[in-house]
């Protein structure tokens, strides 16, 4: 982990420019061949990884959060290992409703209406819109702000539509 953080993993970029290994022909990513193979590129930017692995990582983080919420509000007793956990689309008891990756229908069209997790407290009349992202360290603040802006309209709409006192957009940015 520390090696990754200090960028001393033997990427093509590291081999060519830091180790100055002459047997390395170029510093391009061995997977996509389109960008320099840096830690940054591998962990967040490679087009040939993005569809599969980044999605799995994103979903695993979201599942952990979902399960903790479900346990906390007594929607389940099941404390499965996160990689075996499959969230139910809708969970509900007398106090809360918990949605997983569900489109929230609104009267007016909004630009984004499908947060990873939606938690509504029916008794206390509040909701959380939770959306997960795992960007590179350099983009943490940007990603956070992007998520807030993305769901702002939705928050306004459902607050009015569902008669809530408060809707909080909660980006879970790791």
Interacting residue ranges for Zn ion, rule: CB under 5 A: 29, 31-32, 46
Taking the least distance from each CB to Zn ion, the nearer of 43 and 121 is 43
In the bound state with Zn ion, the residue whose beta carbon lies nearer, of 34 and 166, is 34
CB 42 within 8 A of CB 49: yes
Radius of gyration of the chain (CA): 20
- On whether the CB atoms of residues 54 and 134 are closer than 8 A, the answer is yes
- Min dist CB 77 to Zn ion, Å, is 43
CB of residue 46 to Zn ion, shortest distance in Å: 3
Cβ at position 76, least distance to Zn ion in Å: 39
Shorter beta-carbon distance to Zn ion: residue 27 or 101: 27
For residue 129, the tally of other CB atoms under 10 A from its CB is 28
Q: Give 31 or 159: the residue with its C-beta nearer to Zn ion.
A: 31
User: In degrees rounded to 5, what are phi and psi of residue 25?
Assistant: -70, -40
CB of 31 to Zn ion, least distance (A): 4
Q: How far apart (Å, rounded) are the C-alpha atoms in residues 132 and 139?
A: 14
Alpha carbon 59 to its chain centroid, in Å, reads 7
């Amino acid at each position: 982990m520390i090696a990754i953080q200090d960028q001393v993993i033997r990427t093509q970029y590291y081999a060519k420019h830091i180790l100055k290994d002459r047997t390395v022909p170029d510093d391009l990513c061995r997977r996509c061949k389109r960008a320099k193979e840096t830690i940054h590129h591998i962990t967040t930017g490679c087009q040939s990884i993005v569809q599969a692995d980044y999605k799995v990582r994103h979903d695993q983080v979201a599942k952990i959060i979902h399960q903790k919420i479900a346990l906390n509000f007594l929607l389940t007793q099941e404390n499965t290992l996160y990689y075996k956990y499959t969230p139910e689309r809708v969970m509900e008891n007398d106090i809360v409703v918990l949605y997983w990756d569900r489109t929230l229908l609104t009267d007016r069209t909004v630009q984004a209406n499908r947060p990873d997790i939606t938690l509504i407290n029916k008794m206390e009349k509040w909701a959380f819109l939770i959306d997960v992202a795992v960007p590179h360290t350099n983009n943490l603040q940007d990603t956070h702000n992007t998520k807030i802006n993305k769901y702002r309209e939705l928050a306004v709409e459902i607050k009015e539509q569902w008669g809530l006192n408060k809707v909080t957009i909660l980006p879970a940015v790791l």
